[in-house]
Structure 1
Amino acid sequence: MDNMAYKPQYPETTSAPQNGSPYPPQTQQDPPQTQQYPQQTQYYPQQIQQSSNNLTVVTPGRYQPAIDTTPVARDWTVPAVLALFCFFPTGICAIITAVKARNKYLSGDTEGGRRSSILTRRLFLISVILGLVLNGLMIGTSINNFIK
């Protein structure tokens, strides 16, 4: 920074100092101050758009927490565990996706939780249908072998 940019300005006086010698006449004028400061920008919090139904109110200067109005989808953890008894492979997959759906809901990812919940429901239904069909075939085959 230039030292000449700031010069303190004192009022002009024509009276003599205390020791008796007069001040020299001031003929030099200071140049006008031309240094301009950059315009300051005010930053306000920005609202992040998400694909959920959360209501977020942004007011400058105040903190206001978001109000979560998204209904939580059905938790398919218990049906996924019961699907193990119908058809084991898809039952395991249903349990894994049910846990993922619950974790996504708890972390705030409602869209990801909804998608995982739909996948869990599908895996549960597939497991139940395959279990009923395979158990029906096994029972029918054993009855057919018993009758012969």
Structure 2
Amino acid sequence: MTERPPLPPFTRETAIEKVRLAEDAWNTRDPERVSLAYTTGTRWRNRAEFATGRAEVVALLRRKWAAELDYRLIKEIWAFGGNRIAVRFAYECHDDAGNWTRNYGNENWEFDEHGLMAVRHASINTLPIAEADRKFAWPLGRRPDDHPGLSDLGL
């Protein structure tokens, strides 16, 4: 079995590390790479869409990033305990017509003993924004270490 450190039970430091690793993976916008952080039987709720297993997760993420262009994400720990982590996040993207949105949400994560995410529940709200109001404008890929986080941005 592949392990994905850090492993539960989480400390504050390892939970923060796990959140940043997830953010970094999602900012690649590579569905196959992202899916490797989840158990083979992972269960997701993403908005009103449900996925079970890595293949369904990959399909969901392909659809997502085909529609959400220039996607940039910031995650921040909210709470943790044992094998669970709660995060809040925001991401910005635009559609093929150039309409920008900032999407806010919360996720609840549950991990197995190997550090793979077995359950992910995401609740997400979408706010249309003008391109001039974007706050996430680093080059595509990993958020730079010196870029402000959500709390620093007042989000």
Q: Which range, TM-score by smaller chain?
A: under 0.3
Question: What TM-score does the superposition give when structure 1 sets the normalisation length?
Answer: 0.20
Question: Which structure is higher in helix share?
Answer: 1
What's the TM-score, normalizing by structure 2? Answer: 0.20
